[in-house]
Amino acid sequence: MVPLSYYMILSAVVFVTGLVGVLIRRNIIILLLSIELMLNATNINFVAFSYYLHDTAGQVFVFFALTVAAAEVAVGLAILIALYRGNPTVNVEEFNLLKG
């Protein structure tokens, strides 16, 4: 039997990896992939708690998190393509349209 804290530490490792990815990368696609990593880390936590607390509600929450992730990817990549059309780069430092 694997203790629950192992799952929480695994989830923390994956979440922090995604966080560091958002902080250190310039490529906007890798930034979106890092957000996926963070969402998946929370999913691992939800499923582990759902198993250990004998409550299926955690799995339903993962279902909703998945819906939101799919919506986020669709809108995020559409924004990326719209931006790329005006300024052909994926470097986040060159997107400063709203800078005063």
Partner 1 sequence: MEIFAFFFLATVIALSAILVVAFRNPVYSVISLLVMFFHVAALFVSLHAEFLAAVQIIVYAGAILVLYLFVVMLLNLKHDDSYQRQVWIGVGLGGVALAEIIYLVVTAGSASPRSLSGDKMMACAAAAASAMPQGNTEMVGRLLYTKYLFPFEVASLILLVAMIGAILLAKKEIRGE
Would you count residue 87 as binding partner 1 (CB under 8 A)? no
Tokens for 89, please give them: 């780069």
Euclidean distance between CA atoms 57 and 5, whole angstroms: 20
Tokens for 35, please give them: 């957000």
Single out the residue of 73, 72, 71, 48 nearest to residue 61, CA to CA: 48
54 vs 99 by CB, closer to partner 1? 54
The binding site for partner 1 (CB under 8 A) comprises 1-6, 8-10, 12-21, 23-27, 29-30, 32-34, 36-37, 40, 43-44, 47-54, 56-57, 59-60, 62-64, 66-75, 77-82, 84, 90-91, 93
